[in-house]
A and B are shown apart, each in its own frame.
Chain A
């Protein structure tokens, strides 16, 4: 089993996906949660995650999961905080983990998420 997974890695298969721009983030989320209509999109500077807000006061956490994207939609407010310039947003699910977003306006966004957006 380990050998097969190792061969997949050796062949260069998979690899974490990245988001080139906000449009790609919206597109990736639309495929996962078609009913979510984003009003604002905040993209990680490295393109490995995004945070999107809609008019209904909900926030979508979009992050890489292996070679694919995974998302959670949560209501505001959220227990967001900033560490080392990174916004950290818990999903509330231990197995899904938290969203990490590197952004120059991380502190401002954290404050908005802690209130009502």
Chain B
């Protein structure tokens, strides 16, 4: 198999320098609330743990990709046109992975770690999953291998996608030029995605191209009068690294243990986050409907 560099590994020094620059900028702008040392340390440790998990399970992911490639419909070459096509289709696959990661609890259990900070800064971007392999998140990219894109090309594009998403985790950038906001994911769009405000819940799943959200009806613009509040709907209230990484899996296990039927078991594992048999908990949809009803009642 051809060997291509890992864009994420190459970008790590830049990540560190940019976090330092953002911290300095926050200090200079007297916006010290944008960072919390313990939160930052938690984010960095979670990023480190994610790297270890990637090293442990990466071989299995690449193996499954290579296996699916064996059934590839086409033999796509490393041609000039194949790279942008691969990047765009990989970004589309990312959109559907990310949307599913918010709508299906099994996938959310792996992704919640990324949303567990109540801060939104560049260190938040480093909070990455430890359990993506358990959720089988990699299946969303398998169609690209099945079509016939070379495995190294897809993994390289996926790495570029992840590197791009680093810089949008900031409050230091307001809005980009209108043409850029129309096409690309930006700090403004992604602040919406990380917000727990009812208006913003489960919106803007894009990786690089925000056009997917516009196309599939999940786009929500940032509204100046409704400043984003970051974190989980039910914040952890803890800086414990292990808890941040695994809390939703623990929640699933507890619910499955207490479930009284297969309907309940399936609902708890594969329903939307917040699903419960009697409706006593709140899903994003319920929270949004309550908020919309409150808005309608206001004069």
Contact = CB atoms under 8 A, between A and B. Distances in A.
Interface of A: 1-2, 4-9, 11-15, 17, 31-32, 34-35, 63, 65-68, 70-72, 91, 93, 95-97
B236 A14 contact: no
Interface of B: 16, 19-20, 23-24, 26-27, 32-41, 44-45, 48, 118-119, 123, 198, 229, 231, 235-240, 243, 247, 290-291, 294
Contact of A32 (B27, B34, B36, B235): B235
B37 A68 contact: no
B237 A34 contact: no
A1 B44 contact: yes
B38 A66 contact: yes
A96 B237 contact: yes
B35 A13 contact: yes
B236 A95 contact: yes
Nearest to A61: B237
Nearest to B31: A13
16 contacts: A1-B44, A2-B41, A4-B41, A4-B44, A6-B37, A8-B37, A13-B35, A13-B36, A14-B37, A32-B229, A34-B294, A65-B118, A65-B238, A66-B38, A70-B118, A93-B237
Contacts of A2: 41
A70 B44 contact: no
Contact of A14 (B35, B198, B243, B291): B35
A71 B240 CA distance: 17
A17 B118 CA distance: 13
B56 to A, nearest CB: 20
A15 to B, nearest CB: 7
Given A8-B35, A68-B36, A95-B243, 11 more contacts: A1-B45, A5-B37, A5-B44, A12-B27, A12-B32, A13-B34, A32-B235, A34-B294, A67-B35, A68-B235, A70-B235
Contacts of B23: 4, 7-8, 11, 13
A35 B290 contact: yes
